[in-house]
Chains A and B, each alone.
Chain A
Amino acid sequence: MIAAPNRRPSRLPALREKLLDVSYPAVAVAVLLAGWELWVRLTHQPRYIMVPFSDVITACWDGRGQLLHHTWVTTLESIYGFALAAAIGIPLAFAIVSLRPVQKGIFPLVVVYHVIPTIAIAPLLSTWFGFGLTPKLLIVANFAFFPIMLNTIIGLRSTQPLQVQLFRVTGANTWQTFWKLRMPNALPQIFVGLKIASTLAVIGAVVAEYVSASAGLGYYVLLANGNLDTKSLMTGVVYLSILGSLFFGAMQIIERVATPWHLSQRSPIGR
């Protein structure tokens, strides 16, 4: 039980606790993977139902040439869409925060727009923009845009009133207050949004490729599914997971460079 009243924070076994925190999940993962491997091998599952874990890893390495090609396509779609989402989301958040009509008129509409399943209009984008890059980056932007906008709004609104008053007392104008106080203050929260959006961008690219594509990891996964080729499907998922983690990691590095002062306050989970 967590936070039981009689559990005092003991000093000495801190290292032991840390070790347990690492070893428990490690054991759980090992048991899971071993169970997967043994279950498939011992019960002789058909290859279209499930393949052993070791086969998936081998296939990841063996098929790397083709898989990296597809990964590159998905990467480009994700990056372009992500950039578009940031280019729309951040200025829109500025507008929502600073202009009252936009805040009262546009923001509720954007929230409702977010609640409706916009994935459903993905096929329409193919009708409008063909089968190339454009519809895909629009779908990606559609996925990634909302967390960026929302977190930028939260960040810009979270400025301490006392700090604003201090700026006013020292004679700073609106522009200076924005660039020297509000913006730096909002940056950590903006990065929270960008990090969320970075993983959503990859997922958006996959969905876009489900709808129509001739290359990319989503296409690869769907093709493998059509061929009942579960091994290829799993390798596609592994590559996608790595791609998503790389995106997230890249955002984390950019965050560290952009907001070095904030590192100490941040929680380790990277929220």
Chain B
Amino acid sequence: MSFWTAPRSGSRLRMLSIGRASNVLYPVFFFVLFMSIWEIWVRAAHVSKVILPPPSAIAKQLGIFDQLWPDLWVTLQRIIEGFLLAAVVGFVLAIGIVTFRPFARSVFPVLIATQVIPKLAIAPLFLIWFGYGGWSTILIVFLLAFFPIVINTVLGLRTIEVEKMYLARSVGAGWIATFLRIRLPNALPSVFGGLKLAALLAVNGAVVAEFISSTSGIGHVILGAAGDNDIVRLFVAVGYLSLGGLLIFLVMEIAERYSIPWHVSRRDYVSVAPPANSRAL
């Protein structure tokens, strides 16, 4: 009841940090509770397997990983390729925006304005342009992941105290030294916020792209399973896809911890979804 009785500005809930046992036990308890209710309800109400299978039936079928792996791997490759492309292009563009003032003035507002366009709505156009193979999926992933990376990098590079720049100048640092030693480290928390959001969007984007049209990939498998009313297969596919998505997210999380150890200590759960990227999809 700390919220009501003892307000302290320092009390924060930290994600992915296993401090005390209760931090683990509580979620596990609720997870088990949720699964038990599901299991008991399905068995007691005799819900058809075509509608909703019990968790135990899904768990038994986890072994079809061998069948799913080729499609899952195809999707993960597309996600990673699109994501890396977005990271490289986004980062270069962000540096350009921060460095050249006319460029910033003309391009950055337009970039923000294009956030109004629902990117998943132009996804079908990519199929016409780039065919029904992997490239359209990669480029849709790129399209979704690109914007949060650019915008967060620009915001991160811009929010720097003038005093730090004065200091850099007074010790005679050149432009490159200032950028590498001061601006970039200063921007990294924001950059990683963008990268993590982009990683989530990349997974979603790949699935939607494969829904729209694809002959391979886990999205294709999921849609096929739904069409066959094979709900167990659908759940298993979604489960493995989620694991893949979580893995990508965790890689970003670990990379963040290694590259900016000074920041993690005062970070809270908020960084998972920065509100700055209001129109991310």
Complex CA distance for A236 and B227, rounded to whole angstroms: 27
Chain A: minimal CB distance from B235 (Å): 8
Given A100-B1, A121-B238, also A25-B249 (CB < 8 A): no
Complex CA distance for A29 and B112, rounded to whole angstroms: 12
Contact of A1 among B1, B9, B101, B127 (CB under 8 A): B101
A-B contact count (CB 8 A): 209
> At the interface with chain A, which of B63-71, B113-121, B187-195?
B113-121
Chain A: minimal CB distance from B135 (Å): 15
Residue A262 is within 8 A (CB to CB) of chain B in the complex: no
A150 contact set on B, CB distance < 8 A: 270, 272-273, 275
Question: Are A116's CB and B121's CB within 8 A?
Answer: no
Residue B207 is within 8 A (CB to CB) of chain A in the complex: yes
Interface positions of A from 215 to 266, Cβ below 8 Å from B: 217-218, 221-222, 224-225, 228, 230, 233-234, 236-237, 240-241, 244-245, 248
Residue B52 is within 8 A (CB to CB) of chain A in the complex: yes
Q: Mark A96-138, 1 if CB is under 8 A from B, else 0.
A: 0111110111111101101111011111101110000000000
Question: Are A111's CB and B110's CB within 8 A?
Answer: no
A66 contact set on B, CB distance < 8 A: none
- B99 closest partner in A (C-beta): A1
> At the interface with chain A, which of B27-35, B38-46, B84-92, B256-264?
B27-35
Given A120-B222, A206-B118, also A146-B127 (CB < 8 A): no
> At the interface with chain B, which of A36-44, A79-87, A189-197?
A189-197
Query: Which range contains the number of B residues in contact with the other chain?
Result: 35 or more
Chain A: minimal CB distance from B70 (Å): 17
Complex CA distance for A192 and B27, rounded to whole angstroms: 28
Complex CA distance for A126 and B225, rounded to whole angstroms: 13
Contact of B223 among A105, A107, A123, A222 (CB under 8 A): A123
Chain B: minimal CB distance from A154 (Å): 6
Complex CA distance for A127 and B233, rounded to whole angstroms: 14
Residue B162 is within 8 A (CB to CB) of chain A in the complex: yes
Residue B212 is within 8 A (CB to CB) of chain A in the complex: yes
B4 contact set on A, CB distance < 8 A: 98, 174
Given A1-B99, A32-B110, A154-B270, also A119-B207 (CB < 8 A): yes
Residue B74 is within 8 A (CB to CB) of chain A in the complex: no
Q: Most B CB atoms within 10 A — which of A115, A228, A241?
A: A115
- B117 closest partner in A (C-beta): A241
Contact of B15 among A111, A200, A244 (CB under 8 A): A111
Interface positions of B from 237 to 255, Cβ below 8 Å from A: 237-238, 241-242, 245-246, 249
Complex CA distance for A107 and B8, rounded to whole angstroms: 20
Residue B57 is within 8 A (CB to CB) of chain A in the complex: no
Question: Are B118's CB and A147's CB within 8 A?
Answer: no
Residue B160 is within 8 A (CB to CB) of chain A in the complex: yes
Q: Mark A166-209, 1 if CB is under 8 A from B, else 0.
A: 00000000100000000000000000110110011011001100
A residues contacting B by CB (< 8 A) are 1-5, 20-21, 24-25, 27-29, 32, 48-49, 97-101, 103-109, 111-112, 114-117, 119-124, 126-128, 143, 146-147, 150-151, 154, 156-157, 159, 161, 164, 174, 192-193, 195-196, 199-200, 202-203, 206-207, 210-211, 217-218, 221-222, 224-225, 228, 230, 233-234, 236-237, 240-241, 244-245, 248, 269, 271
Pairs A–B under 8 Å by Cβ, sample size 27? A3-B165, A99-B1, A100-B2, A103-B13, A104-B26, A104-B27, A105-B30, A108-B15, A117-B241, A120-B218, A120-B242, A123-B211, A127-B50, A127-B229, A147-B275, A150-B275, A161-B8, A193-B275, A196-B279, A203-B121, A210-B211, A225-B125, A233-B124, A237-B118, A240-B118, A240-B121, A244-B118
